[in-house]
Structure 1
Amino acid sequence: MKKRVLALVLSTAMVSGILAGCGSSTGESSEPAASTEAAAETEAADTEETAAETEAAETAEDAEIPSGRVYLLNFKPETNDAWQELAGVYNDLGGNVTVLTAADGQYKTTLQSELAKSEAPTVFNIGSAADAQTYADYIYDLKDSEIYNHMTDKSLAVEYDGKIAGVANCYEAYGLIYNKTILEDYCTMDNAVISSVDDIQDLDTLEKVADDINARIDEINEQFGTDLTEAFASAGLDDGSSWRFAGHLANLPLYYEFKDDGLEDLTAGEAEIKGTYMDNFKRVWDMYVRDSAADPKTLNSGALNAESELGMGEAVFYQNGDWEFSPLTNPDNGYSVTEDDLDMMPIYFGVDDATEGLCVGTENHWAVNAKCSQEEIDATLAFLNWVITSDEGRDSLVNAMGLSCPFDTFTGDYEPKNPFGAKANKLATEGKTSVAWSFNATPNVDDWRKGVVSALTAYTDGSGQWDDVVTSFVDGWADQWKLAHEE
């Protein structure tokens, strides 16, 4: 049942890029059971899952460790420590794994730099079929790989030119992370806009709540002993944070426009967009800025730390994803929030708030470098299979990295534990529609986002107009689409 629920959530979000090459050599590429029969079925299912888990662990333990070079260029900075530790464990078993993690917003630049070296990455991240097209000569077909065969939902793989170009290693959800302890305390105040957190079901209510909280910071701190400074954590427009808005917030107007246009695949995109929902984008962005303590003129300074603001109880709302659960609750980071303080709600956009769920999808796909030697390719595939079948690998992905993984080996103790991901499932079972990651269709993603961020920065600091943001969004899309799809 859990797998069916997961499939329901993921069916609303297709998959998304960037690829690498080796400098030398070649390679090809619930309710209690109502009857004895129901109880027997449940027991059989549990036994099947346990057997599969045990078999996976035994297979990983018995597998011979190849000595070929493995170089993983990691896409997610927040998982660096866990990947380094995991590589160390594998190397102690006889492996030869190196992990390099690109800085926030610097993956493409780092990849290009690493490709120029004689020992380039053997496995790297791609986000979409568009990336596979761009780097088609470097794609190794994963259709016969163990990691592909272990996928519970093969629609999460990136397919291009008859090949399985990338295998999703996790699925993710994003929305508005919020401090429910502070928000629940606010609900008890005299003249609060809402009496329960559940009253926030649309953008109208969210705006009123955020405005009221921001206007009553001192009163809230005095009454509850909090250290609140703002309703919304800072909306940084530097390279390490701007993707949250030029990518993840921008997803909402793309998603709703693609729906209006009747696209069957809401992550495939189209050559031209109209900017139908840019007024909604402006409304949400303006709320983020006015209900934050950050100076609108310094949002691109790089000096802001929205994660810390939420983590230290200084902000109530923080737009980000389930990957933030692990760093927010890691005691080594020194944050004051605990798991019990945290929850997530949709980014209400004022379009179809009554049925909107969290944004669910992935940009994280393992792609294996076809230009590496066969020895390197085989060693890389063996390492990735060990990661998703061994106790050490599964524990790291689920517990240390806080990921939800789409493989049949992640049962029992290795089922997703991230409560933000669980919230996506919960909303889906309640009839909400998960928002597809339509931004995965973005043409020349870095260049398009750069134009949007530049215009958004100027609008926010007062040196530009909102019309310039719309122009960069709409005309910039058409220009980049033409460039990306030139023959």
Structure 2
Amino acid sequence: MVKKKEMAVLLVAAITLGMMSGCGSKTGAGSAEGDTVTINLYQNKSEIADPLQKVADAYTKEHPNVKINVESIQGNDYNTNLKAKLMGNNAVDIFALGDNITNMMDYVEDLSAEPWVKNAVDGSIDDVTVDGKVYGLPVSVEGYGLVYNKEIFKDAGIDASTLTSYDAIDKAFADLQEQIDSGKLKDKYPQLEAVEDYAAKETWIPGLHTLNVPLSCEYKSATELRNSDELGLKYADSLKALLDLETKYTPSRNDLSKLNAVDYSTEIGGGLAIERIAVVQQGNWIGPELKGIDEKTANKMGMLPIPTKGVKEDCISVGISIHWCVNKQSDEKVKVAAKDFLNWLFQSDEGKQLVVNELGFVPAFKNYEGIEISDPLSQEVKRYIDAGKTTSWVMGGFPSGFEPKAAADFQGYFSGEYSFDDMISHLKADFKELKKS
């Protein structure tokens, strides 16, 4: 596999060059005109399920001989279900890569000759490149931090622009929680019960994103972590501080075991979107879902840093979350149509607008000149990138199967089953065991 470049290169190329340079594009790989084909797209971002179906409908309107079925599943069971579908010969023609590419070589089509490849930003396809061949399309540049309701903070008299350190964020959260508890904000925000919530039930939230924060200050890239036989966790104390920050202002602050029952829907649709809470650890991918629930509330969102205390405090985590692959075992005419759809979506003038404005993505391609990002949270990600205040996604270097084990370790800590030091020991042991398997 090609060695992954520094994320800084990815970010500069994705935004600075991506919005300013490049040339117009057109779809390639043929559109299979004249053939009636059905493309089954299986992906793991349920928050874009509705807008993605709209995108698919826009393509099929131009290509009436093609039908696209979009199936979306959230989180924990995606990898298992995908492999079951592929091994069981259930129809999957485009799928989100949710695991190490080397585990999927029997099912990934070589996409090296596709027109979009030359426009992919540096570093964005390294994790899906094997022996010089490209097997996956980078869907978007994504970033996560502490997403917050700017209006609630403003009404509480908190200047969010000053919240650039762990201590400043902690102090502001304490201030806001005190105002909530005193009833000061109740008239305007009758449902507001706590500063934040933390969806510990979702394995990817603690097991990937939270754990990635201190690790991204220890490892330079996913490749470096992948090549390590042991999990260092040099900044375990900073991880403890982050967990404290993210849990002691939740409705479950007096019984953290209750966090293990909080899922994504509770946190977003039943929390942030209805202003029951003001902060969540999430990224720009939640924009389309918030917009679908309440566009006015969606437009209030901003992003605070997710701090590694004492190390890097004024940063968000940024990377390529997923790649879309074409199933090489699909029928040839379906593969032709699938490739054409991907080129149309990410490289045609109409598709680019849909990528940015309908799906809310920050493009991972250099030729999006003149297209303005409209989603508030994607704008925030771009702001941090432009300021150079980012850390990388090294979690792609976790061994297969580590996510659920790591999440269970966090959940054991929240439930009181064992101490924080025990949790760290479990994380290291699980990593080492899976590396051997």
Pairwise TM-score range, normalised by the shorter structure:
0.7 to 0.9
Give the equivalent residue in structure 1 for 2:167: 204
For the 8 Å contact 2:360–2:378, the answer to whether it is kept is no
Map 1:20-419; keep pairs closer than 5 Å. 52-53=23-24, 56=26, 65=33, 67-92=36-61, 93=63, 94-127=65-98, 131-153=100-122, 155-157=124-126, 158-187=128-157, 196-219=159-182, 221-222=184-185, 225-227=188-190, 228-232=192-196, 234-238=197-201, 241-259=202-220, 268-294=226-252, 295-302=255-262, 305-307=266-268, 308-330=270-292, 333-334=293-294, 337-339=297-299, 341-353=300-312, 356-412=314-370, 414-419=371-376
The one-letter amino acid paired with 1:271 is: D
- Cα offset for 1:74? 1.5
Question: Helix, strand or coil: the match of 1:370?
Answer: coil
Give the gaps of 5 or more residues in structure 1.
Answer: 1-6, 15-29, 31-44, 188-194
- Cα offset for 1:334? 4.1
- Cα offset for 1:361? 0.5
- Cα offset for 1:290? 1.8
For the 8 Å contact 1:13–1:436, the answer to whether it is kept is no
- Cα offset for 1:169? 1.8
Give the gaps of 5 or more residues in structure 2.
Answer: 1-6
Q: Tell me if 1:457 matches 2:407.
A: no
Decide whether aligned partners of structure 1 residues 217 and 13 sit closer, same or farther in structure 2, where only a CA change above 3 A counts. farther
Give the equivalent residue in structure 2 for 1:4: none
Identical residues among aligned pairs (%): 24
TM-score where L is the length of structure 2: 0.85
- RMSD, aligned α-carbons: 3.0
CA distance in 2, matches of 1:11, 1:179: 26
Cα shift readout 1:178-216 (whole Å, capped 9, x = no counterpart) = 1111112223xxxxxxx6222212112212221232233
Q: Tell me if 1:441 matches 2:436.
A: no
Runs (4+) off by over 6 Å: none
For the 8 Å contact 1:312–1:336, the answer to whether it is kept is no
TM-score where L is the length of structure 1: 0.77
CA distance in 1, matches of 2:365, 2:13: 17
CA distance in 2, matches of 1:163, 1:117: 26
Cα shift readout 1:335-362 (whole Å, capped 9, x = no counterpart) = 76241x21102101213335x4221111
For the 8 Å contact 1:177–1:344, the answer to whether it is kept is yes
Give the equivalent residue in structure 2 for 1:191: none
Cα shift readout 1:398-426 (whole Å, capped 9, x = no counterpart) = 222211222345333x4432332332332
Question: Helix, strand or coil: the match of 1:246?
Answer: helix
For the 8 Å contact 2:75–2:204, the answer to whether it is kept is no
For the 8 Å contact 1:185–1:224, the answer to whether it is kept is no
CA distance in 2, matches of 1:286, 1:141: 45
- Which segment is superposed worse, 207-216 or 148-157? 148-157
**Aligned pairs, how many?**
418
For the 8 Å contact 1:68–1:376, the answer to whether it is kept is yes
